[in-house]
Homo-oligomer: A and B are copies of this chain.
Amino acid sequence: MDEFARIDQLLKPLTEGAAEALDLLDDAALLPAGGGEEYVITKDALVEGRHVLAGTPPEILAQKALRTNLSDLAAMGADPEFYLLALALGREQDDAWLGRFTQALAEDQRRFGIRLIGGDSVSTTGPVTVSVTAIGRCPKGMALRRAGAQVGHQVWVSGTLGDGVLGLAGARGELADCDGAAVATLVERHNRPEPRLALGRGLRGLAGAAMDLSDGIGGDAAKLCRASGVGMELDVARFPRSRAAAAVLARHPDLEAAAWAGGDDYELLFTAAPDLGGEVRALSRRLGLAVTEIGRVVAGETAIFRVPGGGTVPLAGWTHA
């Protein structure tokens, strides 16, 4: 079974139709919070050697684990509030290691306005495994959802695409022939993604559907299509690319396809009615965060990626490091 089938056939029945679970289609669940608000609650795990390279410093493990969860809150338009942390550590993770790990969490807590309220620490013979449960808040009924894309609406993406996977290549030492500053920028993007919290908040009531791009736009756009019961036509030539990615791709044109398909960008993919395009652009200017219109919602249930010259390319899903 693929990931879709496992979720649909094995895990979704365990929701027993609970409305809070949103059919496991979204980045997070919703719980009533009282006072006209909802809690938005998400839980993601990070495994050393899988989501980050083996031997990654504790600071990066800590911040990547927290930020990927914050990205889920951003995708739902939630304000982060609290988190719980379950750590599985080996013998090598001594007090000094844990001190660095928690110090990095403290820095990100200040940056993103979130506090620890609980968790667990266990020992393991395997790789370091960090599970975060992040809890945010949102006015009731205003959370962004994957189900909500409507035919004719525009498809937008924040920031730039492809940096995450190129950063991974850089971290693996595969870009030694490229500009050092560009590679460093990309590695940093891979290690410490920027959760688009202010954008998610600003998109409440503006976006029809939204999600964060963790697994690559190929597979992720397909998930949004499936959740909304729509298709998409996306124009690969319009995919936004960072200066650092462009510099690397100029030397490594062979990485072009991987850069488009690759994951770990943690940008937001969202849809909005065409007459709201001006508001989306105004929000982008206010936040100083680029957003790019990359295509349209169409009938059907698949995402089609158009390339210059009139053809289409399959953009496969992506599996992490």
Residues of A whose CB lies within 8 Å of any CB of B are 1, 3, 6-7, 10-11, 13-16, 18, 20-21, 24, 28-29, 31-35, 39, 41-47, 49-51, 82, 84-88, 95, 98-99, 102, 105-106, 109, 115-127, 129, 131, 133, 135
Does B49 lie within 8 Å of A125, measured CB to CB?
yes
Contacts of A24 in B (CB 8 A): 116, 118
Contacts of A10 in B (CB 8 A): 95, 98-99, 102
Q: Report if A45-B131 is in contact (Cβ < 8 Å); known contacts: A21-B115, A24-B118, A31-B39.
A: yes
Contacts of A84 in B (CB 8 A): 29, 41-43, 133
Give the complex CA separation of A118 and B121 in angstroms.
21
Contacts of A44 in B (CB 8 A): 86, 120
- This chain's copy number in the assembly: 2
Contacts of A15 in B (CB 8 A): 115-117
Does A124 lie within 8 Å of B122, measured CB to CB?
no
Q: Which residue of B lies closest to A10 (CB)?
A: B102
- Contact residue among B32, B41, B117, B124 (Cβ-Cβ distance under 8 Å from A127): B124
- Contact residue among B7, B116, B123 (Cβ-Cβ distance under 8 Å from A47): B123
Contacts of A32 in B (CB 8 A): 33-34
Contacts of A18 in B (CB 8 A): 82, 115-117
Q: Which residue of B lies closest to A128 (CB)?
A: B126
Give the complex CA separation of A87 and B86 in angstroms.
12
Please give the distance in Å from A192's CB to the nearest CB on chain B.
18
Contacts of A85 in B (CB 8 A): 11, 43
Does A118 lie within 8 Å of B14, measured CB to CB?
no
Does B106 lie within 8 Å of A29, measured CB to CB?
no
Does B86 lie within 8 Å of A43, measured CB to CB?
yes
Does A135 lie within 8 Å of B31, measured CB to CB?
yes
Does A14 lie within 8 Å of B129, measured CB to CB?
no
Q: Which residue of B lies closest to A106 (CB)?
A: B14
Q: Report if A131-B98 is in contact (Cβ < 8 Å); known contacts: A20-B117, A116-B14, A120-B43.
A: no
Contacts of A118 in B (CB 8 A): 21, 24, 28-29, 41-43
Does A124 lie within 8 Å of B47, measured CB to CB?
yes
